[in-house]
Structure 1
Amino acid sequence: MALGPLVAGRPAPDTDRVTQTSHVPAPAPTGPEPVLPGSRRPRPHRAWAVAAVTFVTIVGSAAFASLPGLLIDPLHTEFGWSRGMIGFAVSVNLALYGLTAPFAAALMDRFGIRRVVVLALTTIALGSALTVRMTQSWQLVLCWGVLVGLGSGSMALAFAATVTNRWFVARRGLVTGMLTAGGAAGQLVFLPLLSWITEHHGWRPAAATVACAAIAVVPFVWFLLRDHPADVGLAPYGAPEFVPKPAPVRGAAGRALRALREASRTGTFWLLAGSFAICGASTNGLVKTHFVPAAHDHGLPVTTAASLLAVIGLFDIAGTVASGWFTDRISPRRLLALYYGLRGLSLMFLPMLFSDSIHPSMVLFIVFYGLDWVATVPPTIALCRQHYGENSAIVFGWVLAAHQLGAALVAYLGGVARDALGSYDVVWYSSGALCAVAALMSLVIRHRPAGPPAVAVTG
């Protein structure tokens, strides 16, 4: 592992803010300092510790994303609610997840990463805890749809993008892939656990587990995460010189809307948003929400189906980290076209693979689909960074909003199709065709060489 640059001079104290007047270090070398005989090796750059805390936070918060697919059958059985109604609550959750993301990125610039993330985790815990007391369908929409949706939106991938942009100059693609893989790692941990709890103890203890997981992550964020490298007197990893911490940007909502207005004037934004909407439709909206009940329709036990979904998360870790590595070396738009094309093919074959037991063809799908699941995120963030510069995290938040709106639409329509047709087959085939469209949209995005950002919206 390459060691990041160290700032010359005495490091500033570990406070929430270090200004230029209190600390003006000399430019830092671009590589590791030489190790003299008898001297100690320099410590790894603090950016890696921040990335580790961010990864743990994303893993812990993945519990809330693992539960919706496990709730459909238990809630349908206990309350008699239609799958379309339950799917609507999930769609509200997914839509708010996406629509909150760009405002959360702007709020992080105003109030700091720690405050926003801690508030988000607390909101998730509150919504999930209140779910165990519900008796009406509107309460599911309020607790899981609205509260958990708003909280999870502030914990969206814009969080990872903000941390990466502030703390890293080198290895951005790799770190983005690692942080994105945190959600898959959390899915691997929580899906089997929550499915076992749901099957043996009911859905209420599973919802309570989600609340506890969200609260458990709060101390890690508050005590170990720092908002900016200047808070600890360091330059970002790979930066040739110290970068002062910018002043808080006021008017978070206005800044987010201005970034959207400026970005929406470019064709690249609509291509990214449209393809990422299809990405959300074919992952969170379809597979994460409806894979378990679809497999159960064919006689596969819920715990087994949930375990297969968790294994997708295992291979997603490898696929996403590898995608981050590739993004540093290969054209991001070509990577996106490849990922969407392969995903579409796999979804076309899925309806033929369902059965009441696990067989080699299904295992092959799980491996193949898992490698591709969130591999689209690092190249999408890289394209936002290329085209929209310092506002790339906010623009990516809007692109992510499109992702979640696509997911919300399919989460709802998937349940409606199952109620009306008695099968999910038409949804699988339609999503596969849409992925082919996303592949073509990715190829149309024009290449932008390194240089001044296309859009630079300031507070």
Structure 2
Amino acid sequence: MRLLAVQICPKFCQEFHWSRGTIGFAVSVNLALYGLTAPFAAALMDRFGIRAVVGTALVVIATGAGLTVFMTESWQLVLCWGVLVGLGSGSMALAFAATVTNRWFTARRGLVTGILTAGGASGQLVFLPLLSWMVERHHWRPAAVTVALAALAIVPFVWLLMRDYPADAGLAPYGAERIEPRPAPRRGAARRAVRALADASRTGTFWLLAGTFAICGASTNGLVKTHFVPAAHDHGMPVTAAATLLAVIGIFDIVGTIGSGWFTDRFDARRLLAVYYALRGLSLMFLPMLLADTVHPPMVFFIVFYGLDWVATVPPTVALCREHYGEDSAIVFGWVLASHQVGAGLVAFLGGLARDAFGSYDLVWYCSGGLCAVAALMSLVIRREREPGVAPALGAAA
């Protein structure tokens, strides 16, 4: 749904006479709630089960998307797009992937995390060109309705096919030799999420992970995903062409994220993060020179390069959370993800303001590149060994 906002930003400006900053604020609320919901959703999955949480989240997304067709004021965009869709998508955020990985796998966890994370890129690849075509040919409202109906269509499959634990299907976790009994529901989900944050925040590792992931969000969801299409449109590129380039990122995102998961099972996660952030920052420094009214080979190279690095940071970040925070790692990663989305939300908003103030996004690209260099240095400072007094990581030998 956030991708739909990116595509129809020029349509909103034309129909409602809203500024880029106004639309950027709605997207920033969505991004922030996407992250802030994640740790509580991870705890709720331990209380009520994955199936119930995901099914409810899909209904909330469908409600928010469907109601946008009736909006006439900017606060309604913030409510529907920012709040409802943000809460719904946040409940199925990357903390969901971490929860599934911890429950269903004891081996190859890095690779599995990469594959599940790449699923988000697959959705972008399938829906983005279609929604872009609908926006150009039939206006933005049919596209919003399509998103709502697609979310509702998945609910029956979630309820009928999804299982909360391997034991529910009579299976052992992948890599384990015996079936683990289904644990009892853990009550006090909100209290547990806050306690996990309080415990993790006493360690330097948490703040380094949160800081690097905030920059990750700022340079991907907040910057490129939110502002690439409007920036390309500013240079005369058709919205459909720019949206297609953004979708192509999704193709290479799948390859890059799965590859990153494979690397995470074999190499030092800290060094992987440093390489990923350094390369991302370098590519952003070149982007202002590549934007034009047509798609040319250097731009295609940027899209391929950036796509490979898009969410390659997720598997090593999840692995470091698992290494340092044990059985609470999914919830702690949810809080790290919250910082990711806060960073994304700030840049989504500030990027729109910068465009309104300076007439271009150039300053935003350069500043984000510099932040990525800082994130690369922060990654190398993270301690490799486990924090004293923290429970051993589940499947640490995997």
TM-score normalised per structure 2: 0.97
- Cα offset, 1:452, TM superposition: 7.9
Q: Could you tell me whether the CA contact under 8 Å between 1:391 and 1:455 is conserved in 2?
A: no
| Equivalent AA in structure 1 for residue 135 of structure 2 | T
Describe the superposition over 1:284-323 as per-residue Cα deviations: whole angstroms up to 9, x where unpaired: 0000000000000001000000000000000000000000
Matched letter for residue 79 of structure 1: F
1:448 CA drift (Å): 1.9
Aligned to 2:25: 88
2:2 and 2:27 in contact (8 A); partners too? no
Q: Which residue of 2 aligns with 1:435?
A: 372
Query: Which residue, 204, 207, 225 being the options, matches 2:144?
Result: 207
Cα deviation for residue 234 of structure 1 reads 2.0
The answer (yes or no) to whether the contact 1:117–1:155 under 8 Å persists in 2 is yes
Cross-structure match for 1:32: none
Note the 1:325-364 alignment, pairs <5 A.
325-364=262-301
Q: Is the 8 A contact 1:93 1:145 kept in 2?
A: yes
Question: What amino acid does structure 1 have at the position aligned with 2:181?
Answer: P
Rounded Cα–Cα distance in structure 2 between residues aligned with 1:225 and 1:453: 32
Larger RCO: Structure 1 or Structure 2 (Cα < 8 Å, ≥ 6 residues apart)? Answer: 2
SS in 2 for 1:300: coil
Does the aligned pair in 1 maintain the 2:200–2:332 contact within 8 Å?
yes
1:226 — aligned with what?
163
Q: What are the Cα deviations for residues 212-240 of structure 1, in whole angstroms up to 9, with x where unaligned?
A: 11111112211111000111222211013
- Equivalent in 162, 175, 183 of residue 246 of structure 1: 183
Deviation per CA, 1:244-284: give whole Å up to 9, x if none: 11110000000000000000000000000000000000000
Q: Match for residue 422 of structure 1?
A: 359
CA contact (8 A) 1:262 1:455 kept: no
| Aligned equivalent of 1:129 | 66
Contact 2:324 2:387 in 1 (8 A): no
- Residue 246 of structure 2 aligns with which residue? 309
Whether contact under 8 Å (1:390, 1:453) holds in the other structure is no
Q: Distance in 1 between matches of 2:341 and 2:186?
A: 26
- Which residue of the other structure, out of 54, 63, 67, is the alignment partner of 1:117? 54
1:72 and 2:12 correspond:
no
Per-residue CA deviations over 1:304-355 (Å, capped at 9, x if unaligned) read 0000000000000000000000000001110000000000000000000001
- The structure with the greater share of residues assigned to helix is 2
Task: Sort the Cα spacing of 1:416 and 1:347 in 2 relative to 1 into closer, same or farther, 3 A.
Answer: same
Moved more, 384-393 or 205-214: 205-214
Shift of 1:241: 2.7
Corresponding residue for 1:260?
197
For residues 455 and 277 of structure 1, what CA distance do their matches in structure 2 show?
26
Find the aligned partners of 2:177 and 2:58 in 1 and give their Cα distance. Answer: 35
Does the aligned pair in 2 maintain the 1:386–1:453 contact within 8 Å?
no
CA distance in 2 between counterparts of 1:284 and 1:256 reads 24
1:286 to 223, 228, 236: 223
Question: 1:148 aligns to what?
Answer: 85
Task: Could you tell me which runs of 5 or more consecutive residues in structure 1 were left unpaired when the two chains were aligned.
Answer: 1-63
Question: CA separation in 2, counterparts of 1:202 and 1:288?
Answer: 21
Paired residue for 2:210?
Answer: 273
Q: Write the deviation string for residues 6-28 of structure 1: whole angstroms up to 9, x where unpaired.
A: xxxxxxxxxxxxxxxxxxxxxxx
Q: Which amino acid aligns with 1:367?
A: V
Correspondence for 2:116 among 171, 179, 183: 179
Residue 138 of structure 1: which of 75, 86, 89 is its match?
75
State the partner residue of 2:396.
Answer: none
The one-letter code of the counterpart of 1:221 is V
Matched, 1:366 2:326: no
CA distance in 1, matches of 2:120, 2:228: 18
The amino acid that maps onto 1:104 is A
In the alignment of these two chains, the number of paired residues is 393
2:323 maps to 1:390? no
Q: Kindly provide the amino acid, as one letter, of the partner of residue 392 in structure 1.
A: S
| Distance change in 2, residues 1:302/1:129 (3 Å) | same
Deviations along 1:432-456, whole A, 9 cap, x unmatched?
Answer: 0000000001000010269984489
* Gap change, CA 1:75 and 1:200, over 3 Å in 2: same
Matched AA of 1:337: A
State the one-letter code of the partner of 1:295: A
**CA 1:388 to 1:91, structure 2 compared with 1: closer, same or farther past 3 Å?**
same
Distance 1:85 1:228 in 2: 43
The 2-side partners of 1:455 and 1:105 are apart by 20
